[in-house]
Amino acid sequence: MEMGNDEVTDGSLWQDENGDDEDEEPEASTPAPVMVPVTFSVKCEKTRWGEAVGILGSCSALHEWRQTEPLMLSAGSAYPTWTLTVSIPSGTPYEYKYLICRPDGSIKTWEADNVRPIVNRRAIAPRDSAEVREDGLFGEIPGVMPIRFPGRDRDRDRERRRAERERERGSNGGEERHRWELTLRDGSTGVVEVPHRRGRVGKGRQASCYRVQLTSKTVTGEGIVETSREVVIKEFKGGKNGRLFYSNEEGALRRLNGLELSDEPSNGTAASSSSSSPPLSPPPHLTTGSSGSPPSCIPEFIGSDRSRKCALMNFHPGQTLLSLGPPADKRLAFSWWFDLCEGVVWANGLHVYHCDVNPSNLLVLTDPPLSSSSSSWSGPTASCPPVLLVDWANGRLAASDSSKTTQSRRGHFQGPEIMMGRVGDRTDVFGVTGTLLWMLTGRHPRVPVDSDENVEWLCRVLAECLGEGVGDLDRLAAVIGRGVACEWTERTETIAEVQQGVREWFDEHGQGLAALV
């Protein structure tokens, strides 16, 4: 069959004179993607000086995870909020992640980089409008545990717990927690109010000491009389040693104030003086305290609460002798030391051994000032700022050859036998005599080769500090040398003997110390 002119045999379209396809439809051009602005916002306080928060993601606008080209967010005045705006094709699904960059642009850490499997943030770009992505805190990806920064996170958690405690104290429950009642030693009821901001007192290694307001109620013929005063509460730390230190402190203070542990009621509050057990009488060999009250350097015991491991006592607002340094007026040093001897002799007579007498455990009243005029001096019994022997937590309530040791090494003012658990009358002799040596020379007892060498060293040290004009220093050095002897059998037996030897020397040569003031 013959084909017409308007037909083609190869199935191609008709072509015009120029060879173009007349019936071919033009190719449809691909529309350009619509770019929508997306603003990323995250809060981050984990950067250091010069560092910045960056971002990388799976799309081209976020540099397709190229770790050498992170995009930097800026904070400015909105810190700690970091923001960045980029343009992303509309409807594009993508993943991204924040990171912290060093000043040179290198990556320091990714958020949640310690989580396996790795989890990224996911999003889809909107189609026709701008978007602001509020991603909260850096590192807190939904469903993923946040990354931890040792040290900085610890500080943040500590601040958060402090804020929670402050909020609790403003509620009724918080007020009840920091205000409780207890029975005082005189039988009255006391209310302790612990302030929100506690004023620390003392060193606080075994316990925390701070001042509290104590309101006591006493029933009289005219009704209930309330009195308020500021006292010191000593709150011991937890754990096995904390209970032991609290037991030592409470037991020592009770016995020194004429009470016994058996006087305490079963509810854990302090004992009443109306208990059937009679108070302990003072040691018969004391020259002071004939009225039955303890010497002035013994802290006044007010009450205790065993459930909280707290002891209430009365401190004067003073400073430790160690922080003040050796007294410039050596006669004042002797006066303080004689007061210390009276208190420790009193304690040893009641079978209470401090075991840690040293300048850091002596509080000196600094109001009125410590300055003393030489013209008003009238001997060691004159009125002068009192000292207070504190920190009885290492004390023992009985002599023993195998008491529990609570320290890894002995202090400079403790005898070597303390590390072997031996406690007795000679235990406090070392500390009391060593304290006198420090008051006079600023040096602590040393470990000598033998006792004769120790006495020679003491003579040289005393001569350097007190001067050659003070007479018979060999005699004073011999008394101190026997008191700080390392061997138990060579040491003076009681503090009363050391006190008597020092007082005899002071009565003869103490006036020569006036030139040192």
Domain ranges of the chain: 35-137, 179-314, 318-516
Q: To 10 degrees, what angle do helices 473-483 and 495-509 make?
A: 170
Give the C-alpha separation, 429 to 19, whole Å. 125
pLDDT bin (cut points 50, 70, 90) of residue 23 is: low
User: Which is nearest to 187 in space by CA: 150, 156, 217?
Assistant: 217
pLDDT at 45: 86
> Of all helices (H) and strands (E), which one includes residue 36?
strand 35-43
- Of 252-256, 286-290, 313-317, the poorest mean pLDDT is in 286-290
Return the structure tokens found at 266.
């079963």
Q: What is the pLDDT of residue 87?
A: 93
Which CA distances in Å does 269 have to 180, 224, 307, 378?
11, 21, 8, 45
pLDDT at 38: 94
The torsion angle over the Cα atoms of residues 376, 378, 381 and 384, rounded to 10 degrees, is 10
Kindly report each contact of residues 135-143 with a partner whose C-beta sits within 8 Å and lies 24 or more positions away, as own/partner. 135/40, 135/41, 135/42, 135/98, 136/42, 136/43, 137/42, 137/43, 137/44, 138/42, 138/43, 138/44, 138/46, 138/53, 138/98, 138/100, 138/111, 139/46, 139/98, 139/111, 139/112, 141/111, 141/112, 143/119
- Comparing 72-76, 226-230, 427-431, 500-504, the range with the smallest average pLDDT is 226-230
Mean pLDDT of 36-40: 93
Q: What's the chain's Rg over C-alpha atoms?
A: 40
Confidence class of residue 253 from pLDDT cuts 50, 70 and 90? confident
> Is residue 290's pLDDT more than 70?
no
Sign of CA dihedral 303, 397, 207, 268: negative
318-516: in CATH 3.30.70.100:
no
Q: Could you identify the residue written with the tokens 């606080």? A: 204
**pLDDT given at position 313:** 80
Beta bridge partners of 400: 423
276 band by pLDDT with thresholds 50, 70 and 90: very low
Q: What is the CATH number of domain 35-137?
A: 2.60.40.10
Q: What is the mean predicted confidence (pLDDT) over 421-448?
A: 86
Which residue, among 432, 404, 397, has the nearest Cα to 418 in the 3D structure? 404
Q: Quick one: which of 418, 440, 183, 407 has its CA closest to 305? A: 183
Asked whether the beta carbons of 421 and 404 are under 8 A apart, the reply is yes
What is the pLDDT confidence band of residue 269, given thresholds at 50, 70 and 90? very low
Give residue-wise pLDDT tens across range 183-218.
777 767 778 776 655 556 655 567 777 777 788 777
CA distances in angstroms from 108 to 49, 59, 67, 81, listed in the order given: 13, 22, 11, 19
